[in-house]
Structure 1
Amino acid sequence: MRIVMFYHSIVSDWNHGNAHFLRGIATELLARRHEVEVFEPKNGWSYRNLVREEGERAIRRFRRAFPQLKESPYELEGLSLDRTLERADLVIVHEWNDPELVRRIGEHRRRRGNYTLLFHDTHHRSVTDAAAMAAYDLSGFDGVLAYGTPIRDIYLARGWAKRAWVWHEAADVRVFYPRSNRHKEGDVVWIGNWGDDERTDEIREFFIEPVQRLKLKAMVYGVRYPEKALRLLEGAGIRYGGWLPNFEVPRVFSRYRVTLHIPRRPYAESLPGIPTIRPFEALACGIPLISAPWEDRDRLFSAGKDLRFAGDGAETEDILQELLAHPQQAKSLAAHGLACIMEHHTCGRRVDELMAICRELGMNTVTGREWERGN
């Protein structure tokens, strides 16, 4: 099949977690002999920030890590959809796109497109900025891929889409797998961006304060850390490593004994069942994982077996002490989490789910042609 994807960026993962899953899905589709083309806006927000802060060297590192992945930069004003979508069998448009692009693609699909068209939502704006999401014209789309049950239900309940499916993120196990490293540089590593004060208190409670009280050797990687945050880390004796290319995360995990997951507040409070991609990637790397609270409504993991949940900072401290003092227990937790990923949460499994959705919509996923379109 020829699969065309419109995303914010496949090249830059600077404060852009959707690039992780996109890279894994595109790699898996290519491995299955599909033709894949990813369009991203020329000099988009994430790309600009990455080059400004890290230089062109960051782009070269991406190309060395993913030589099979090629982006097609575009400018909306000059984009010819007739040419871009020629021979397309499946088109996926991510929610971090200009509403005008979404409208134009939907109109093209209605007017002359013999392809399946899906909208992909991987953000909390359906709750935190519903007006912005309602502005997207999805009338020409076949349905929505939502990365959690609550988001799917919102699209259906509000009439934003006629059909919607849950399509969770997952680990690209070609990149995320356990690395052998007997030498540990420290006890705890946390990889995450500071963001827009969506989890400031949680970072302090579940990471900074337990590390400080236990006098652990800890490291943090991420971007958009203000001076106030850097002072907090320094005061707790936590090193800050700045931006880390996502494909280098497995190597970093191998140098530490445990990691943490701290979900952003909108997911924990308003969109239960959505962990974001970080736990999938950590468990795929075989590192013990402690998570701040979120409701696993879709039963993605087995609490206590795949990962440990901590209700507050004090419980985080207790679990850290327990896992660091009992290496075999930590090893068992990591092994169970890895087995869960390999069975249920790989990008290969998600592509299987995507193909099943396409077949439900009447597509022959071998040839890409439709058996019968019902609309």
Structure 2
Amino acid sequence: MKIVLFYHSLLSDWNHGNAHFLRGIVQELKVRNHEVHVFEPENAWSLQNLISEYGPEKVKELQQYYPGLQTNFYNLSSLNLDTVLQGADLVLVHEWNDHELVKRLGEHRLQNNYKLLFHDTHHRAVTEKSSMATYDLAHYDGVLAFGEVIKNIYLQEKWTQKAWTWHEAADDSVFYPRTKTEIAGDLVWIGNWGDEERTAELHEFLINPVKELGLKAKIYGVRYPEHALKSLADAGIEYGGWLPNYKAPEEFAKYKVTVHVPRRPYVVALPGIPTIRPFEALSCGIPLITAPWEDAENLFTPGQDFLVAKNGAEMKMHLQTVLSNQSKVDELAAHGLKTINQRHTCAHRVTELENICGELGINPAKIYRNKKEQNLHAK
């Protein structure tokens, strides 16, 4: 297939956690010999912040981890859809795109026979419903939603006629266990502070346990306000600033444990959506302890893939267990990695996407790599 993807940014993961999954999908599509073209706005805020703070060399560094990964920059006022979509079979539009682009693509779809899908990987369908409702999806063939609850919102609100659940997953070409050559500390956490929607939780499940147990810990991320940095310093936690997403596996290998602290919207209103962080950790073989979230779609096996702490006291208890019990460490790491490899890689998601393309009526000879696969999916 010829597939055209409109992303906020493929090159930058500065405050753009979806970049991991989006990059992995592009690479897996290319492995399967699909023709892939990515377009992103020339002044995207993520890339602009990355370059202004860390320089253009960070963009070049990406090629070491994702060889051959390419994007195309566009200006919305001069974007010629006839040109960029010529011969396309499938067009994916990520939800961090301008409303005008989304509308223009829908109108263009009316005059052409490719399939057009909107891809939602955020909680805004719940937290910013009025904004999401203004996306004009009238002429789209459907929505890919990264959780069942998001999919149902699109259908219930009649924003679309068709929707599929398409969870994020680990790019195991980059996120895999690294050999532990050095131990830099006990705990590492990778995540952005954000808009104060999990401040209390970060204190209860991360900062306070580290301080009370006297652990050697390091935190990476952006958008940390002064009060957050003060809290980290007070707890003796080293702050590492922005970490390129593709370097997370190398950092996981230097520490003994990590934790997951989901943002409040995911806990309260979006059960079943863990975000990308647990996929990343489990795929790298580091023991994971998570604050409460409901695995409503049975993606994992809590207690075996990772430990769940109901409160700060339980987080301390689980941390002590992991840091003092090597057999428990090995058991958790092995079970979590097995679950990822069996169910939650970008290869699994591309297979799901190919099957959706079959449902949409795209020629199987274009979707699947060989006659055997075509026959299998024709049954």
Q: TM-score, normalised by structure 1?
A: 0.97
Partner of 2:132: 133
Do residues 95 (structure 1) and 64 (structure 2) align?
no
Do residues 254 (structure 1) and 253 (structure 2) align?
yes
Cα offsets for 1:8-57 (capped at 9, x unmatched): 00000000011110000000000111110110000201011111111112
Cα offsets for 1:200-250 (capped at 9, x unmatched): 111111000000000001010001111111110010000011111111100
1:223 partner amino acid = V
Cα offsets for 1:310-341 (capped at 9, x unmatched): 11111100000011110111110110000000
Q: Secondary structure at the match of 2:63?
A: helix
Deviation at 1:183, TM superposition (A): 2.6
Partner of 1:21: 21
Q: Secondary structure at the match of 1:9?
A: coil
Cα offsets for 1:58-107 (capped at 9, x unmatched): 11111332221101010000000000100101000011101110000000
1 CA distance for matches of 2:293 and 2:33? 37
Do residues 144 (structure 1) and 143 (structure 2) align?
yes
2:314 partner amino acid = E
Partner of 1:373: none
2:75 partner amino acid = E
The alignment yields a C-alpha RMSD, in angstroms, of: 1.0
1 CA distance for matches of 2:129 and 2:22? 24
Q: Secondary structure at the match of 2:365?
A: coil
The 8 Å contact of residues 99 and 135 in structure 2, kept in 1 or not, is answered as yes
2 CA distance for matches of 1:66 and 1:285? 17
1:364 partner amino acid = N
1 CA distance for matches of 2:365 and 2:252? 38
Partner of 1:320: 319
**Following superposition, which runs of at least 4 residues in structure 1 exceed 3 angstroms of deviation?**
none
Partner of 2:346: 347
Q: Secondary structure at the match of 2:236?
A: coil
Alignment of 1:177-188 (within 5 A): 177-188=176-187
Q: Secondary structure at the match of 1:367?
A: helix
2 CA distance for matches of 1:278 and 1:54? 23
Alignment of 1:180-219 (within 5 A): 180-219=179-218
Deviation at 1:184, TM superposition (A): 1.3
Partner of 2:366: 367
The 8 Å contact of residues 273 and 297 in structure 1, kept in 2 or not, is answered as yes
Gapped regions of structure 2 (runs ≥ 5): 369-379
Q: Secondary structure at the match of 2:321?
A: helix
The 8 Å contact of residues 176 and 284 in structure 1, kept in 2 or not, is answered as yes
The 8 Å contact of residues 284 and 341 in structure 1, kept in 2 or not, is answered as yes
2 CA distance for matches of 1:325 and 1:66? 37
2 CA distance for matches of 1:117 and 1:224? 34
1 CA distance for matches of 2:99 and 2:225? 31
Alignment of 1:299-314 (within 5 A): 299-314=298-313
Gapped regions of structure 1 (runs ≥ 5): 370-375
Partner of 1:372: none
Deviation at 1:182, TM superposition (A): 4.5
Partner of 1:46: 46
Alignment of 1:327-338 (within 5 A): 327-338=326-337
Deviation at 1:363, TM superposition (A): 1.1
Partner of 1:33: 33
The 8 Å contact of residues 293 and 309 in structure 1, kept in 2 or not, is answered as yes
Aligned residues: 368
The 8 Å contact of residues 2 and 368 in structure 1, kept in 2 or not, is answered as no
Deviation at 1:368, TM superposition (A): 5.3
Partner of 1:105: 105
Do residues 10 (structure 1) and 32 (structure 2) align?
no
2:281 partner amino acid = A
The 8 Å contact of residues 16 and 46 in structure 2, kept in 1 or not, is answered as yes
2:8 partner amino acid = H
2 CA distance for matches of 1:146 and 1:178? 29
1 CA distance for matches of 2:337 and 2:36? 29
Q: TM-score, normalised by structure 2?
A: 0.96
The 8 Å contact of residues 89 and 368 in structure 1, kept in 2 or not, is answered as no
2:43 partner amino acid = N
Q: Secondary structure at the match of 1:184?
A: coil
